[in-house]
Structure 1
Amino acid sequence: MEFNGLQRNRNYKKLLKTIIIAITVIILLVPFIIWENNSITVTKYDKYSSSITESFEGYKIVHLSDLHSKNYKGRGATIISTLEPDIIVITGDLIDKNDRNLHVAEEFIKRVSNIAKVYFVTGNHENLSPLYPYLLEIFDMYGVTVLDNEQQKIFIKDESITIYGYADTEYDIETEKVLDKDDFNLVLCHKPYAPEIFNTINADLVLCGHAHGGQIRLPLIGGLVAPDQGLFPKYSEGIHDYSDTSVVINRGLGNSIFPFRLFNRPEIVVITLHK
Structure 2
Amino acid sequence: MTKGRGGKPEIKDDLCEYRSAVNTVCELLPMETRECWRTPFKEAYLGIYHELGKRLVQHCRLLATSGAIPRVDVPPTVLHAVFATDRPDHAFLQDPLRWGFGLTEPMATKTLARLLSAGHSETRAKRIHAFLQALGLPEDCASLRALESCRIFAEQDRIDLKLVWIDDANRDVVVIVEAKLGHKITDGQLSGYRKAVKALHKTDPFASILLTLDDGVLSALHPQQRKLWKQVDWRTFCMRFERLRPIEHDAAVQMFLTTLWHRTGCLTQEDRHGRI
Query: TM over 0.5, yes or no?
Result: no
Q: Which has the higher contact order (CA 8 A, sep 6+)?
A: 1
TM-score, normalised via structure 2 length: 0.31
TM-score, normalised via structure 1 length: 0.31
More strand by share: 1
